[in-house]
Amino acid sequence: MEQGCRGFGGSFSIELPMLSAELLERRLDHVEATGAGMLVRDSPGCVLQLRGGRDRRGGGVDVKQHRRCGGRGPEAPKADAYSGG
């Protein structure tokens, strides 16, 4: 799947809220379709938006920031199960 904006970038979500919401919904649909239990992203803004969208949907995939996974311990993912879409 292609890499792309999740719609949070700076003032984007304020200036174009409907487009931002559409991008978020599409992204969450793609994530759910993978069946992954965890989504790891590097952008704090992206993580916040994806978590908010997930919560509004009533749960789903665990969204973590890359820095918080660190690759140490059993709770850390072996690889990014989903990195785009």
Q: Dump pLDDT digits (tens) for 35-62.
A: 999 988 888 888 888 899 999 999 889 9
Q: How far is CA 17 from CA 9, 10, 43, in A?
A: 11, 12, 19
Q: State if pTM tops 0.95.
A: no
Spell out the domain ranges in the chain. 12-69
> Could you give the CA distance from residue 45 to residue 59 in angstroms, rounded to a whole number?
19
Cα separations (Å) of 43 from 9, 58, 66, 73, 74? 10, 23, 8, 22, 23
Region 76-80 average pLDDT: 48
Burial class (CB in 10 A: 0-12, 13-18, 19+), 65: middle
Q: What confidence score (pLDDT) does residue 10 get? A: 60
